[in-house]
Amino acid sequence: MSIGTLSFSHLTTGQQLAIKYYSVAVILFAAQVLFGLLAGLQYLRPDFLYEVLDFSVNRMVHVNAMVVWMLYGFMGAIFWLVEEEAGVELVGAKLANLGFWVLTAAVTVVVLVYLFVQIGPGTMESLWFINEGREYIEAPRWADIGIVICLLIFFYNISATFMKGKWSGISGVLVLDLVAVAGLYLAGMFYITNTSVEQYWWWWVIHMWVEATWEVLVGCIMAWGLIKTLGASRKIVTTWLYIEVALMLGSGILGLGHHYFWIGTPEYWFTVGGFFSALEPVPLVAMVVHAVYDSGVHRFKNSNHPALAWFIAHAFGNFFGAGVFGFMHTLPQINLYTHGSQWSSSHGHLAFFGAYATINIAMFYMGIQKWRGDVYMSANIAHSWRWKWALSLLCLGMTGMTIALLISGYEQSFIERALGGATWAAYFEAQQTAWYVQGMVWRQIWGYVFASGLVLLIWDLLTIGKGDTRPMLLPEPAEH
């Protein structure tokens, strides 16, 4: 097949599956942004879609679409690299394909129920079949079980492939991490009346995913990506990966304590959570150093410019979003005023985008390159303004939203908590102050900027490399 033309014959079995995962991921990414815009608009015009698609519904779809598209991106990325890394064909390809369709069908049903049924009566049946009402993991219980089964199939495919082929540092870390990702999900699959205990376990899923196991997972993807795009030395990249795992889990596991300041748990979590979460930015600094150093050593000569740009965006986005914006309000003395305010959403937006959206987008570009027969994607590609503008608009839009939400958050914590006595009246007073409202208006404007970046990104992903017959520029090995 010729270079520049889309063809599955360019891809391995795992990579063909990865393209399917990526496609659903992009659709869900678009859904995330659409429902985010609707929810954002409701802050400005509360009557908008009132009792049709209420804020709670839009927000639930917004955050759930995010979690699921990122998981799809990760699963796709792992299917993408597994065969090259193991040196053998994917084990259990038919089962993997079935897993994809079952999972996608389940996600579709869950979203349709979210949108058209929305809520149910106060019985356990509602939690089993409509939604579980727990932020981020709202998926009803039947879907939880389905997700676990699909993850087990996925785990079988990946670990069996590595077992049949060869292991590497990257694949070892990856497989152990997948065990933790799947195992931790179980902590979110039961109902309990005691809210303190419920939230204790709920954070095992949320925190241990996004601030520990997902970080390790993207560390593996990043390591592989730098080898592929830059030709970075595997030995150095693997050593860095181990350092990052040590720092990440060394700080992140007990960093969990910053969620245990106010849920009824004992006061020693102030010390444990404050101390270890203050260390959480350290591995993220290491990642920035790692990415920039490797790029510098190779003088930025690489096989895929958009992908490398997004890998570097990931390194910085992870550091600023998860590291700086997380640290900013992680100490209990500050968190007492900021917990449960727009500070959290400011941090949440930049962290999820910076740490996870970016690296998934990088992998999408790696995907499209090979799908077009390892087409040339280095300097002087046609229409390169598209990927550059998409990257700029997405990063700018997200930065704008983050800062706007932070200003609203400052206003909220000051008026509602510090001055107002944290009552309902104080809450609503804060929500109506001019600077809070201005923050929300600007968040919406930057949201449109972000959405325009996404449209451009999708257009670029569909067209980049089309008709280009130059072969991919092979990365040069480092001069170590």
Indicate the residue among 13 and 251 with the shorter CB distance to other proteins: 251
Indicate which single residue of 300, 427, 435, 442 sits in contact with other proteins (rule: CB under 8 A).
427
* Residue pair 352/405 in contact by the 8 Å Cβ criterion: no
Residues in 69-88 that interact with other proteins by CB under 8 A: none
Q: Is 56 in the site for other proteins (CB under 8 A)?
A: yes
Indicate which single residue of 67, 139, 153, 256 sits in contact with other proteins (rule: CB under 8 A).
256
Indicate the residue among 266 and 299 with the shorter CB distance to other proteins: 266
Q: What's the closest the beta carbon of residue 118 comes to other proteins, in angstroms?
A: 8
As a whole number of angstroms, the distance between CA 269 and CA 261 comes to 6
Q: Which amino acid is at 433?
A: T
Q: Is 422 in the site for other proteins (CB under 8 A)?
A: yes
Indicate the residue among 26 and 139 with the shorter CB distance to other proteins: 139
Q: Is 431 in the site for other proteins (CB under 8 A)?
A: yes
As a whole number of angstroms, the distance between CA 408 and CA 429 comes to 13
Q: How many CB atoms lie within 10 A of CB 20?
A: 17
Q: What's the closest the beta carbon of residue 88 comes to other proteins, in angstroms?
A: 24
Residues in 95-124 that interact with other proteins by CB under 8 A: 118-124
Structure tokens at 3: 């270079």
User: H or E stretch including 214?
Assistant: helix 214-230
Q: Is 235 in the site for other proteins (CB under 8 A)?
A: yes
* Residue pair 290/240 in contact by the 8 Å Cβ criterion: yes
Question: Vertex 146, ends 352 and 115: CA angle to 5°?
Answer: 65
* Residue pair 475/229 in contact by the 8 Å Cβ criterion: yes
As a whole number of angstroms, the distance between CA 115 and CA 177 comes to 33
Q: How many CB atoms lie within 10 A of CB 129?
A: 14
Indicate which single residue of 12, 16, 32, 42 sits in contact with other proteins (rule: CB under 8 A).
42
Residues in 130-169 that interact with other proteins by CB under 8 A: 130-135, 138, 169
As a whole number of angstroms, the distance between CA 219 and CA 177 comes to 11
Place of tokens 């979110």: 188
Indicate the residue among 51 and 299 with the shorter CB distance to other proteins: 51
Indicate which single residue of 167, 190, 385, 428 sits in contact with other proteins (rule: CB under 8 A).
428
Residues in 8-37 that interact with other proteins by CB under 8 A: none
Q: What's the closest the beta carbon of residue 450 comes to other proteins, in angstroms?
A: 19
Indicate the residue among 92 and 169 with the shorter CB distance to other proteins: 169
Task: Tell me, residue by residue from 194 to 233, as one string, x for binding to other proteins by CB under 8 A and - for no binding.
Answer: xxxx-xx-x-------------------------------
Q: Is 479 in the site for other proteins (CB under 8 A)?
A: no
Q: What's the closest the beta carbon of residue 463 comes to other proteins, in angstroms?
A: 37
Cα→Cα distances 475→220, 227, 300, 335, 478, Å: 19, 9, 10, 46, 9
SS (H, E, C) 96-154: HHHHHHHHHHHHHHHHHHHHHCCCCCCCHHHHHHCCCCCCCCCCCHHHHHHHHHHHHHH
Indicate which single residue of 4, 92, 183, 340 sits in contact with other proteins (rule: CB under 8 A).
340
Q: How many CB atoms lie within 10 A of CB 419?
A: 12
Q: What's the closest the beta carbon of residue 46 comes to other proteins, in angstroms?
A: 4
Indicate the residue among 104 and 338 with the shorter CB distance to other proteins: 338
Q: How many CB atoms lie within 10 A of CB 432?
A: 10
As a whole number of angstroms, the distance between CA 106 and CA 126 comes to 17
Q: Is 407 in the site for other proteins (CB under 8 A)?
A: no
Q: Is 444 in the site for other proteins (CB under 8 A)?
A: no
Q: What's the closest the beta carbon of residue 429 comes to other proteins, in angstroms?
A: 7
* Residue pair 88/165 in contact by the 8 Å Cβ criterion: yes
Indicate which single residue of 209, 310, 325, 337 sits in contact with other proteins (rule: CB under 8 A).
337
Q: Is 57 in the site for other proteins (CB under 8 A)?
A: yes
Q: Is 126 in the site for other proteins (CB under 8 A)?
A: yes
Furthest-apart CA pair in the chain: how many Å?
69
Q: What's the closest the beta carbon of residue 141 comes to other proteins, in angstroms?
A: 11
* Residue pair 170/241 in contact by the 8 Å Cβ criterion: yes
Residues in 270-289 that interact with other proteins by CB under 8 A: 270, 272
Q: Is 478 in the site for other proteins (CB under 8 A)?
A: no
Indicate the residue among 302 and 335 with the shorter CB distance to other proteins: 335
Task: Tell me, residue by residue from 169 to 198, as one string, x for binding to other proteins by CB under 8 A and - for no binding.
Answer: x---x-----------------x-xxxxx-
